[in-house]
Structure 1
C-alpha cells in the first residue's frame, strides 16, 4: 500500500493569481515548469532516479507560487501513510501538517480532518504556531502524497516600497514574473541585463533571485534613483551604469526591455528599431514589454516571438 515516490511525482506547487494576471501567470509557469499548469496546482515528475533533470524551483521566486511540497511518500489511501510515517524519526523536532491543494477539492472541515489524521501518524510533538518542521499532505492523481513543504516567504513584497519611483514603473509582481520568464528555471548560472532599467524595478527582482544582473539607463536622474533603490535593499549601486543601450557590446543570456514610452511621449519608429536591434545583439533571449503590437518588428530583428497579452 505504501512506497517511496520513484519515477513519479516529485513535487507539487500551489499557485494563485488575480484574473487580470492569468496570462502572465500562465506564461511564467509554463517557462518554469515546461508545461501548462492545471487549475491551482503544478506537478513536477521524477524523470530518473536522482531527478537531476528537473531541478526544484524555489517557491519564493514567483509572485504566483504559494507552496511547494516535496512528495517523500505516497499511498493509495490516507490510512496507508500510517506505517511509514509512524516509523519516521523526527529527532525530537516539533511539526505541523498543512493540507495542500491537489486535483481533488475538500471542504474546510475535511481539510482539517485530513491534517489531524496525517499528523496523528507521526511520532512527535505537534506545534501549531512555531513548528520546526512543516509537512504537506495532498490528494493528486488518485494518490495521497506526504512530505516537507515550504510557503512563499513574500520577502520580495518589500520591494514595493522603493525610496525612488516612477508613476509608470512596472508593478513589482509583474517585474518579478518577467525576470522568471526571461531567465527560465535556473537563475544562478545566467547573466541578465535590463537595458532601460529606469528606477531599477526589474533589476532589483533579478538581483534578489541571485541572478548576475546589470542595468543601463540613459537618463542620469533615473540612473541615480536606481542606485539609491538598489542600495536601499542591500545591492550594489554599481549594478547600474548610465549609458545608451545601442552602444553596449557585452552579451548576456537574457534581458527584459520595458518600452512604455508611448504612454508619455512618442518613440520614433527608427529609434524603436535601433533599440530592438541592440537588444537582439546583446541577448539571445529577451522579454519585451510594450503597449503596442511589435511582433513584425521583432521578427525583422531576428527574434522568434511568443506573445502574451496581459
Structure 2
C-alpha cells in the first residue's frame, strides 16, 4: 500500500443526456481547464456539485488504498466532528472501466468501514456522509457531497416562452461564462424573461439582466422575485450600457422568431465587445465572421440541441 502514490483532491461523477454531451464537456473545460470522455473527473479544483446540471456528486479525498482492508487501517483514527455519520459507496453505475458494484456488496463494504470509525452511525439522517468509490482497482475515501438539482426547481416560473433556453442549458452557460464567481461582474443585456439571470443569481454570480422590451423586463423581475432571488433588471438597448463588465452573456435574438437583421446582430456583438472583456454568445446561425470582425477571438465552442432546434455556444475573448 502506498497512500502517496497519486495526489488526488476531488472526484466528480457526471450524468448527462446524449444531446448535452458537448455542452457538458465545455462546462468541464471552464471549471477545470480540461475535459474527459469518462463519466468521472479528478481535479484539485473545488466546485460545488450543485452548480452543474451534469455533476452528480463530489468526493473530497482524504485517503486512498489498494484494498478495503488497507482502507480500514487508514480511517480508524478519523475523528467525526458531527454527532452522526454514515459511509456511502457510490459505485452504483459503471465509472469508466470500473464496473458497477452490486448493491449487496456495496452495503457490505459500507458496514465494514463504518464500524471502524469512532462515532455514531446513522443510515437515515446522518450529519456527515463519508463517500467511498473504487476507480481502476484503487479505493478512495473522503467527504461526500451530493448535487442538489436547483435548476429543476426553476422549470416552473411565472413567465416563460417556448424558445427560451431550458434551465439546464442556461445553468451550464452561466458556468461557462463565470466558472469562479469571486470578484466577477457579469451582464446579460438581452436577457428576455431571465432564464440565464435566474440560474446565475441562484449560484451567487453577480449578474445584471437587461432587455430592450419593457414588458419582458417586468416578466424577468417577476421570475427573479418568485424564487426569492435578488437581482437587477434594467430596460434599454445594449448600446446605452455605460459600465464595463468582466463578462457578457448574450442569447442572440433569432431571425427565425424576430425581425432582427444581420447588421443588428453585428451591432449587438460589437457593443458586447465594448462593454466586456469576455462574452458567451448563443446563436442559431454561423456568426464566426461577425465575432472576428468586432475583435473577439473564439476560445471554445459547442453545439446543444433541443429536439430539432440547434444552438451554438461560443466563448469569446
Instruction: State whether TM-score is above 0.5.
Output: yes
Q: Report deviation, 1:309.
A: 1.4
SS of structure 2 residue aligned to 1:176: helix
Number of paired residues? 298
Contact 1:30–1:37 (CA under 8 A) maintained in structure 2: no
2: distance between equivalents of 1:201 and 1:137?
36
Higher strand share: 2
Determine if the alignment matches structure 1 residue 283 to structure 2 residue 276. yes
Q: Is the contact made by 1:98 and 1:134 (CA closer than 8 Å) also made in structure 2?
A: yes
* Residue 172 of structure 1: aligned partner: 167
Distance 2:23 2:235 in 1: 30
C-alpha distance in 2 between matches for 1:171 and 1:8: 37
Name the structure 2 match of 1:17.
16
Tell me the SS of whatever aligns to 1:90: strand
Structure 2 stretches of 5 or more lacking a match? 305-317
- Other-structure match for 2:183: 189
Output the CA distance in 2 between the equivalents of 1:72 and 1:170. Answer: 39
* Match status 1:159 vs 2:131: no
TM-score (norm 2): 0.88
Partner of 2:108: 113
Partners of 2:274 and 2:56 in 1: CA distance = 36
Q: 1:236 to 1:74 in 2, by over 3 A?
A: closer
Give the conservation status (yes or no) of the 8 Å contact 2:82–2:127. no
Q: Residues 91, 199 of structure 1: CA spacing in aligned structure 2 closer, same or farther, 3 A cutoff?
A: closer
Cα distance 1:92–1:12, how it changes in 2: closer, same or farther (>3 A)? Answer: closer
Q: Which aligned pairs between 1:259-274 and structure 2 lie closer than 5 A? A: 259-274=252-267
1:139 paired to 2:134: yes
Matched, 1:99 2:92: no
How far is 1:77 from its partner?
Answer: 1.7
In structure 2, what is the Cα distance between the partners aligned to 1:91 and 1:15? Answer: 29
Deviation at 1:76, TM superposition (A): 2.0
Structure 1 pair 98–274 and aligned structure 2 pair: CA distance change class (3 A) = same
Match of residue 87, structure 1, among 57, 77, 80? 77
- The two structures, once aligned, show a CA RMSD in angstroms of 1.9
- Cα–Cα, structure 1 residues 92 and 233, in superposed 2: closer, same or farther, change >3 Å? closer
CA contact (8 A) 2:131 2:144 kept: yes
Q: Could you tell me which residue of structure 2 aligns to residue 59 of structure 1?
A: 49
Matched with 1:30 is: 29
Q: Is the contact between residue 201 and residue 230 of structure 2 (CA under 8 Å) also seen in structure 1? A: no
Q: Which residue of 2 aligns with 1:42?
A: 41
Runs of at least 5 residues in structure 1 that lack an aligned partner in the other structure: 46-53
